[in-house]
Structure 1
Amino acid sequence: MQRAIAPELSTWPDERPQLLASTCDHCSATAFPVQPLCPRCSREQMTDVALPRTGTLVAWTTQGFLPGAPYLGDETPETFVPFGVGLVQLGDVVRVEGRLTENSPSNLSFGMDVELTMIPLGHDEKGDEVITFAFRPVDSKGASE
């Protein structure tokens, strides 16, 4: 069985999942993940919105060490493989930090197009596969690699 690491973050298991955010009805600020209060004006008038599935990589790095608890990945210090982490501009709406499916610096570039995807992260205490969101590079024709 599969489960989302945080079901409130996206519309997964939809076929084409989207991340969920909040937009303030007063000042139009958008926040990810969903927030009860506006981060700009502190009002409670927030409306949930689905974010664009594609965006632009504006900053990135490589996570070169095994994350600490409560990380749900199956890796051990011996099997850990570094992974990419990026800041993605989703349309003109909001920037989201997330895992990248690509971890080779030579295959990542500032301004590259990326697309939301869902990937396995590890297994929970019941043995269920834990799924999380990530961004994957999109080729110049718009088809995912």
Structure 2
Amino acid sequence: MTQVPLAEGLFTWPAADPALIAGRASDGSLTFPYRSHRLVGGAREELEKVELPRRGTLWTFTTQLFRPTSPPYAGDDTEETFEGFTVGYVELPGALRVEARLTEPDPAKLRIGQEMELRIVPLGRTKDGDTTMIYAFAPVQEEASP
């Protein structure tokens, strides 16, 4: 069984330290997900591919307790097998805020301002049986004080 990204060009993968891929315009602004061109100051401009920081802070979050509509939802679950999840915005320092699934499903274990780190996790299966991989953010485990 093969693992495949949900969409090409979203993140570097497979990689030991995967990163999300954004586009940087000449004015320094970033666009995620990456696209090759964007209007900047009224002119169409080619964007530079850049890797976003792997860590950031949880800016806000909520829970998704019902199965998203299809399309475009790419999960291989059904109404009966669907399990709720958390989703949030993670603020990446010096970059932008990214909407993503969170790996921690229990909202009681999340807090605004919590440090988060990028992960690549399974979502579902393609019609060929491959595992679809998506990006998500996981809470960084805080070290206990001595």
With the length of structure 1 as denominator, give the TM-score of the two structures.
0.90
Distance 1:39 1:84 in 2: 33
Task: Measure the CA separation in 2 of the matches of 1:100 and 1:41.
Answer: 35
Letter paired with 2:34: V
Number of positions where the alignment pairs a residue of Structure 1 with one of Structure 2 = 140
* Structure 2: distance between partners of 1:76 and 1:61: 21
Do structure 1's residue 33 and structure 2's residue 33 form an aligned pair? Answer: yes
1:129 pairs, out of 128, 131, 135, with 131
What residue identity is the alignment partner of 1:24?
Answer: A
Q: What letter is aligned with 1:52?
A: P
Return closer, same or farther for 1:120/1:77 CA change in 2, 3 Å cut-off: same
Conservation of the 8 A alpha-carbon contact between 1:29 and 1:39: no
Is 1:16 matched with 2:17? yes
TM-score under structure 2 length normalisation: 0.90
Give 1:108 deviation, angstroms.
Answer: 0.8
Q: In structure 2, give the amino acid aligned to 1:35.
A: R
Q: Residue 134 and residue 47 in structure 1: after superposition, are their counterparts in 2 closer, same or farther (change >3 A)?
A: same
- 1:36-115 alignment, distance < 5 Å: 36-38=36-38, 41-43=41-43, 44-70=45-71, 71-115=73-117
In structure 2, C-alpha distance between the alignment counterparts of 1:86 and 1:50, rounded to whole Å:
20
Give the residue type in structure 1 aligned to 2:136. Answer: A
| 1:45-103 CA-partner distances (Å, limit 9, x unpaired) | 42110000000000111111101112221211111111010101111211100100112
CA contact (8 A) 1:31 1:39 kept: no
Gaps of 5+ in 1: none
Runs of 4+ in 1 over 2 A off after TM superposition: 35-43
Root-mean-square deviation (CA), in Å? 1.4
After TM superposition, the structure 1 stretch with the greater mean CA deviation from structure 2, 64-73 or 128-137, is 64-73
Q: Distance in 2 between matches of 1:115 and 1:18?
A: 10
- Can you give the 5+ residue segments of structure 2 that lack an aligned partner in the other structure? none
